[in-house]
Chains A and B, each alone.
Chain A
Amino acid sequence: MNYMNYPNKFNYQANILPSSQGNNIYSPYEGFIRGNMFQSLYKPYKQIGPYRIEAMNEQAEMLTNIDALCFALIDLNLYLDVFPNDKNAVDMFNQYRVQKNELQKQYENKYGPLVLTSDAINTYPWAWDNKPWPWEN
């Protein structure tokens, strides 16, 4: 599987971050499979994982790339809520946001809308009902 290359170094502003934090951040995919973008906070139970995500087809692989970027945004969002003056984190958030929006647009044009505001909703008949729904396998 070919996951996109992302920068994985992250330079914190020393005056913003508590000194207990490290200064490395995972790439979206590496963070996603760990459930955590911030290397200093990653504490796996009994050294279990991380588990690579085995996508079964092209659609699932594309969705995994979107999931990884979404995850990076979720985790950076929580961090930025508490540390809103961290310019590097704001820049990183926006870099991943642009990549995520672009990739999601490609995915939705091919496989249907993930959100109701997607341009891919503009089809007849109404496409929102279409499978797969998230809990199905």
Chain B
Amino acid sequence: MWKYEKKLEYPININNKDLKMAKALLAQYGGPDSELAASLRYLNQRYTMPDEKGYALLTDIGTEEMAHWEMIATMVKQLMKGATIEELKNNGLEGNYTQHDGAVFPTDANGVPFKTTYIETTGDYRADLESDMAAEQRARATYEHLINLTNDPDVIAPLSFLRQREVVHYNRFKELRDYYLNTYEKNS
């Protein structure tokens, strides 16, 4: 089960409205390499890890990704605060407004809704962990693209934090993958 902590993993206080940035950030809310996809992927893959190291690591990283998903929603919400319909229309958010009004909905930056295929579970620990390593690299690259799209330090600071978490997660998955190959596939 899970318990909620009534705080963000990293503080977010965005003072300036930026609707184009809000739309771009949806990539990490409901896109293929989003925090939502990462969380569900790891929490879903953990059941077929070979032993408790994998159970623990995928549970804990999957849980942290949920906190990141909350950070992305917070950023989108704060970037859109006080937007008029005219401003939404001028920044490509009229489709989002039509279907969701001011709600944050899991689509990618182009409005494509979240798909369960992003969860990518094969039941093969090597395939899953190597896919997780690649997913962390894709998310890192996405954060770099997002950082390139803004000059606002209120936005860049949490994006830099999230980007570095991808680097750390990549390394932990790699260490686990290497440990498993060494433990279970020595003679193959």
Contacts and interface: CB of A to CB of B under 8 A. Distances in A.
A67 B53 contact: no
Contacts of A116: 3-4
Interface string B162-173: 111101110110
Contacts of A133: 6
A14 interface: no
B77 A135 contact: yes
Interface stretch (A1-9, A70-78, A89-97): A70-78
A35 B168 contact: yes
Size range of the chain A interface in the assembly: 35 or more
A81 B53 contact: yes
A40 to B, nearest CB: 9
A90 B188 CA distance: 34
A33 B158 CA distance: 9
Contacts of B64: 74, 78
Contacts of B56: 81
Contacts of B157: 49, 51, 53
B160 A44 contact: yes
**Contact residue range for chain B?**
35 or more
Contacts of A75: 168
A91 B168 CA distance: 21
Could you tell me the dominant secondary structure of chain B's interface residues?
A: helix
A137 B61 contact: no
Given A63-B7, A82-B57, A137-B13, A45 B77 contact: no
Given A41-B167, A67-B9, A134-B70, A51 B153 contact: yes
A134 B168 contact: no
B97 interface: no
A35 B7 contact: no
Contacts of A74: 9, 60, 64
B12 interface: yes
Interface of B: 3-14, 53, 56-57, 60-61, 64, 70, 73-74, 77-78, 81, 143-144, 147, 153, 156-157, 160-165, 167-169, 171-172, 175-176, 178-179
Given A36-B167, A49-B156, A66-B7, 17 more contacts: A18-B175, A32-B10, A34-B164, A35-B164, A36-B165, A41-B168, A44-B164, A49-B157, A60-B11, A78-B172, A82-B57, A82-B176, A84-B53, A116-B4, A134-B70, A135-B8, A135-B12
